[in-house]
Amino acid sequence: MRRVVVTGMGALTPIGNTLQDYWQSLVDGVSGANLITHFDTAKFKTKFACELKNYDPATYFDRKESRKMDRYAQYAMVAAAEAVANSGLDPDAADKDRAGIIWASGIGGIETFLEEVRGYVTGDGTPRFSPFFIPKMISDIAAGMLSIKYGFRGPNFATVSACASSTNAIIDSYYYILLGKADLFIAGGSEASINPPGIGGFNAMQAMSTNNEEYQTASRPFDVTRDGFVIGEGAGALILEELGHAKARGATIYAEVVGSGLTADAYHITAPHPDGMGALNVMKLAIEEAGLKPEEIDYINVHGTATPLGDIAETKAIVRLFGEHAHKLNISATKSMTGHLLGAAGAVEAIATVMAVVHDIVPPTINLRNPDPAIDPKLNLTPNKAEKRTVRAALSNTFGFGGHNASVLIRKFEE
């Protein structure tokens, strides 16, 4: 079998606009939550989110170029550019027919859709839509723009599976390399949904925290006082390569992708299976594909959104799958710091998982003061402070509305 390794990463997140800043903030337990600045929230139930800090499109694009891109696509271009630079890859030296892009977004250009429809509704009824309306809005345009920028002519598409979307992008890239269809991928996801329909829609579902008084600590997975997720924005990108291809160009190898799982709950459009059956099966599949045993897993970066039902279902699945070893694992929910980046969550959390494997540091679950008694008290949820431990193999879980489950297994690279 061909082997797939991670050779580069890029991150644009609410707690750091570069890979290193993001990782340092994770280790330090920094919260990315603050009051929303993108629009007036006076009439909204939730007035806070995990926005990017100090993001200025002019830093990365000229004005004409940035106006042709929704923010989700801008974020994709920025994170991917860092990943390419971080990998030491020269795109012009690559075999472009065997290099691809698989890029995810759960929602795509929702802000563009809002702006264009608002203009039509408040106008005189004349359909004065921008010629860039559709290209800016569609969820696959980021993948297309990245392929144009780097000239990669291999597999190119978007994955959409709600909050599992960018884990799907990573897994699909992994599969294509294993199958010999390509040697190199830029994989990841981006999201820019902190806007009136994003906030209003999730408020209507009662899925998002409304703890406006304690907004900086409102993302509190596993805590008995949790009241929903805190929305985030940004992007994460990974360079995945076939091992021989990476070694031939002298690439730095961060870690190896060795297993994956994809399942469905087949239960409810938004709620998880109460016993976490889909979550259990997706982790089991990833471990089996890697040829490992459950007791060889050291860390799980859980989906952990801080929703009342989701956190319980996922921890139930972990206890059932791992048995007594569940109490020897480190578990953490990095959404406690970044917020929930929706379709980009899987990519930024896979990056956190790779970095945990590289540095033997488990980032914490912050804001965990009163653990929910419905969650096994013996689980090590890595509360509030990062922990140093050997991390040989780790899972990154993401689950999406519709019952989509995806899990990717990262292992220390060994010859």
- Crossing angle, helix 110-121 and helix 71-87, to 10 degrees? 160
Active site residue 303: yes
> Which residue of the set 50, 245, 273, 303 is catalytic?
303
Q: What's at 3, amino acid-wise?
A: R
Beta strands 255-264 and 404-411 are antiparallel
* Cβ burial 279-299 (10 Å sphere, 16+ → b, else e): bbbbbbbbbeebebebeebbb
> Which residue of the set 163, 245, 273, 404 is catalytic?
163
Active site residue 340: yes
> Which residue of the set 50, 245, 273, 340 is catalytic?
340
Query: Nearest-CA neighbor of 217 among 339, 333, 367, 337?
Result: 367
Residue 197 to residue 193: CA distance in whole angstroms: 8
Active site residue 50: no
Residue 33 to residue 98: CA distance in whole angstroms: 40
- Residue 102's Cβ-count burial label (10 Å; 0-12, 13-18, 19+) is buried
Which amino acids are annotated catalytic? 163, 303, 340
